[in-house]
Amino acid sequence: MNMGPFAIIGNPVTSSLSPRLFSAAYPQLPREMYLVIEAPDAEQGWKRIKELHIQGFNVTMPFKTDFLNMADKLAPAVRQVRATNLLTLEDGIWTAWNTDITGVVNSFRGSGIDPAGKNALIIGAGGAGRAAALGLEQAGATVFIANRTLRPRLYPLSDIPSLLRKCTLIVNTVPCEGIDAAVINLTCAHTILDASYTLAPLRKAAACAGARYLGGYHWLYNQAVEGFAILTGLEPDCRAMRKLLDL
């Protein structure tokens, strides 16, 4: 068992549910074991991690790529997606992990949807989007990625309406307002997973179209189940975590 202390780091992060989720997962552990660190950049955040003798921490936006540079070792999935949402310290070695990958897949599976054989549209090619793409590809889905900045094998956001005609699963990692204007072809055949549980960018569009909507709490919960177990070496209380998030 890793006795901590642990933390979540990001910017902004003070409104994160992770501390409460950790307390629900491990009611036997003191609340002060899991801290919140809001830093202006990854370098300042890393300095605070060292000052507080943190033994493992969750990483949220906008540092999921930056903290790769602080790790001594990368889990295989991290090498593939080039992003991390979790670092742990053991025997002086920092290892970077990515639990967003299984978090996305288990969000669909936990809602009774098997991604295998389906077409999936990922909106956004940042760290969260790349993790979602890898997870769904490994689960047997055919993945299409639309992004604001064009790169090889990426579609422009303007192609989203046509992509929706062949994709039934949608993962949105773009939190900006106005993204709902791009999803004009949503129907009741679509299932949407939003990454952001605070902004919920596509909730209104999904409701108007009659599409099935999985809010960011699903993603938060499913990545945390694996992440907390890696952090502590203990199995979390999943029932208490789901109750907290009303899942």
Active site residue 118: no
Point out the catalytic residue in the list 50, 64, 73, 243: 64
Q: Classify each residue of 171-188 as buried b or exposed e, where b means 16 or more C-beta atoms within 10 Å of its C-beta.
A: bbbbbeeebbebbeebee
> Any idea which residues carry the catalytic annotation?
64
